[in-house]
Chain A
Amino acid sequence: MKILIVDDFSTMRRIIKNLLRDLGFTNTAEADDGVTALPMLQSGSFDFLVTDWNMPGMSGIDLLRAVRADERLKGMPVLMVTAEAKRDQIIEAAQAGVNGYVVKPFTAQVLKEKIEKIFERVNG
């Protein structure tokens, strides 16, 4: 299981990376926005994408849309971990095809639940 973590703040990437490691996911890579993330996704063999929303360059929602529009990537599960909490935005993300939505600040427990739920669905 290879996971790409996309967030413009290195500390947040590190926190997510550590939490994922505790959950048993040790194979992770990082990108600081959609512009760097998309080519990585297209060339690397990633199985799962965790992305922030608000980033310079290409935002998380645009990255999500780009992933869904890409023939080879469109089935990839995407978890949004973001401070954006407006109802309209959550609905927008849902319509764009997000698989899970976690609002910051979050707990390790919440992240674990959402990831497990996503894999249950994907495998089930």
Chain B
Amino acid sequence: MEYQDSSKAGFESALKLNASQLVDSLEKGDIGEAVQLINELNKTRDRGLFHEVGKLTRELHNAIVNFKLDPRLPHASEVSQIADATERLNYVVTMTEKAANRTMDLVELSSPLVTQVSTEAQTLSEDWGRFMRREMDADGFRELTRRIEQFLARTAQDGAAVSGHLNDILLAQDYQDLTGQVIKRVTQLVTEVESNLLNLMLMASRVDRFAGIEHGEISGSEKAHKEKSASHGEGPQIHADKLDDVASCQDDVDDLLSSLGF
């Protein structure tokens, strides 16, 4: 960085010095010397430009090596980090989907058991009430005890099954640990890529300075094109409570719709 600044400062001081000498020699009418000075100026500029272009090229090369993007490189058999990140994120999708399905499977297995126990308990409790009020004959009571015996046996069995399912549901949440790790690594990669790109951009801007290139602002139509059309959807809003144009909860949606006459 310091060297950068010193080379730029060197260029600028050489520019100033040669410029004043150029004016002097032109005033003196010494055209030969003036041409010499212009050549000198050009050389200084070219040296700086070559130097910056050289550095930009080196940085680009490093970036390509770091991201392993070039298929001709010797370690191309390893996937590029970006491709790897894509694969990792796909893994997250698969893992979360599997966990969600496993959880729903277990809930679907458990809920009929629980419903059955609860319905049976209700019927038994009604019959038990009849017995307590002495509205039941001996045969009815024998039948009731038989059903209670069955109910107790089944409850014990179903209870164990449901408790097993609950345990499995708990275990199915282990994806959070794995996907969390994967997402953290991908986030890290994105941050790295961003800072490397920023570096490249700074390098390129130095080349621009030496070459005298100026970039126009992005034109309005391009900007408009870049803005996503709302119809395409944006996915979940991450900081809904901090954004003004986003409904942060169902109540906000309901308010908005009722203001529209819904």
Can you name the residue of chain B whose Cβ is closest to the Cβ of A102?
Answer: B250
- Is A90 interfacial (CB 8 A cutoff)? yes
Interface residues of A in 83-116 (CB under 8 A from B): 83-92, 94, 101-104, 106, 110
- Is A27 interfacial (CB 8 A cutoff)? no
Known contacts A11-B104, A83-B236, A85-B247: A90-B97 contact under CB 8 Å: no
- Is B139 interfacial (CB 8 A cutoff)? no
Q: Which B residues are CB-close (under 8 A) to A18? A: 104, 107-108
Q: How large is the interface on B (under 10, 10 to 19, 20 to 34, 35 or more residues)?
A: 20 to 34
Q: Which B residues are CB-close (under 8 A) to A92? A: 230-231
Closest approach, in angstroms, between the C-beta of A79 and any C-beta of chain B?
12
Known contacts A15-B104, A103-B253: A61-B237 contact under CB 8 Å: no
Q: Which A residues are CB-close (under 8 A) to B260? A: 91, 94
Q: Which B residues are CB-close (under 8 A) to A91? A: 256, 260
Q: Which B residues are CB-close (under 8 A) to A87? A: 245-247, 256
B236, A86: Cβ atoms under 8 Å? no
Known contacts A88-B230, A88-B245, A104-B236: A110-B101 contact under CB 8 Å: no
Can you name the residue of chain B whose Cβ is closest to the Cβ of A60?
Answer: B233
Using A85-B248, A91-B256 as known contacts, list a sample of 5 further A-B pairs with CB atoms less than 8 Å apart, ordered by residue number in A: A10-B101, A11-B100, A54-B234, A61-B233, A101-B257
